[in-house]
Amino acid sequence: MSKRILSCAVTGAAPIGKDKQVPVTPREIAESSIGAARAGAAVVHIHVRDPETGNGSMELKHYRETVERIRDSGVDVLINLTTGSGARFVPTPENPGLAAPGSVMATAARRVEHVVALKPDICSLDFQTMWMGNNAMINPPWMIREMAAAIREAGVYPEYEVFDSGDIHLANKLMADGVIDGPGLFQIVLGAGFGASPTVETILYMKSLLPKDCIWAAFGIARMEFPMLAQTYLLGGHIRVGFEDNRYLAYGKPAPSNAALVEKARRIVESLDGELASPKEARAILGLRG
């Protein structure tokens, strides 16, 4: 079987709570990314956080410091920056048309500012409009169009993140219209909010909707991270782990680091007689120069 690209999503933007092992500062995020790469991740998927509060951030200066630290380390790894921030809407109960505290809605230009400035290898492009708890994640088609144009102009490889079947239908429509490039790299998200369920049947159904000859990956949230990793591998997809998705190695056993999650993912793949792709091999799979 062909080698698989393992991505590590090192921190995400969800509240940290009591999980103090989650990296917060640019230095911590960079060091955790480097550790994940040394453990076998070919790609690191990066959000940044406010160093003072630990909350998710969109600040370019935090992205710049994080990316520069990784690049200056000499460790070979593909950098994948999120553009998912800036799509959260929380309705005010008394007037649902007004945004309540916790809403973070931003323009397309603001959401891709760091991608245009830093030109990572890859960046995510979300297609979902869905509920995650009491938050609605809103990605209007016109905003996806604007973001896709800026990403293309920057020469960055987009990763199309799809959270349910309708997202793939939208992506296929935009691909047919020439708005996004095909066949593309698709990341199937399983178990997030009220999106696609983390089951084998879901993977098979969503995979059947993808463009022919596309590159695809999938991952599960929380306790379904490793079961979905194994199933995705067996079904021919690329894989992902990381603190953004799950913070445990097993029930009741917090992961000490992103590297520990990567190491467990490697063991699962190798137990199935598979191999992880190196960063060089990942670039070849994706058709990127490096």
The CATH number of the domain holding residue 153 is 3.20.20.70
Residue 1 falls inside a structural domain: no
- pTM value is 0.97
Q: Is 213 exposed, middle or buried (0-12, 13-18, 19+ CB in 10 A)?
A: exposed
Token pair in block for residue 15: 């509240």
Strands (E), 40-183: 43-46, 48-49, 56-57, 78-81, 87-89, 91-92, 95-99, 104-105, 122-126, 130-132, 135-137, 157-162
Is the distance from CB of 42 to CB of 281 less than 8 angstroms? yes
Is the distance from CB of 208 to CB of 239 less than 8 angstroms? no
Query: Other C-beta atoms within 10 Å of 74: how many?
Result: 7
Residue-by-residue DSSP string for 2-33:
--B-EEEE---SS--TT-TTS--SHHHHHHHH
In this structure, the dihedral spanned by the alpha carbons of residues 63, 64, 68 and 70, taken in order and rounded to 10 degrees, is: 0
pLDDT 10s digits, 21-79? 899 999 999 999 999 999 999 999 999 999 999 999 999 999 999 999 999 999 999 99
Q: For the chain, give the number of residues.
A: 290
Token pair in block for residue 187: 């990341």
Residue in the block written with tokens 């990127």: 288
Distance between CA atoms of 290 and 287, rounded to whole angstroms?
A: 10
**Crossing angle between the packed helical segments 141-154 and 165-176, to the nearest 10 degrees:** 60
Is the distance from CB of 247 to CB of 255 less than 8 angstroms? yes
Residue span of the structural domain in which 26 resides: 6-286
Angle subtended at Cα 120 by Cα 85 and Cα 174, rounded to the nearest 5 degrees: 60
pLDDT of residue 273: 95
User: For the chain, how many structural domains are there in total?
Assistant: 1
Residue 73 falls inside a structural domain: yes
DSSP 208: H
Residue 232 falls inside a structural domain: yes
The segments of the chain whose pLDDT lies below 50 read none
Using CA atoms, how far residue 269 sits from 36, 71, 219, 240, 250, in Å, is 16, 28, 14, 12, 17
Token pair in block for residue 234: 């067996």
pLDDT of residue 18: 73
pLDDT of residue 228: 98
pLDDT of residue 258: 98
Residue 104 falls inside a structural domain: yes
pLDDT of residue 2: 87
pLDDT 10s digits, 175-196? 999 999 999 999 999 999 999 9
The phi and psi torsions of 187 (rounded to 5 degrees) equal -115, 115
Q: Is 64 exposed, middle or buried (0-12, 13-18, 19+ CB in 10 A)?
A: middle
Q: Is 226 exposed, middle or buried (0-12, 13-18, 19+ CB in 10 A)?
A: buried
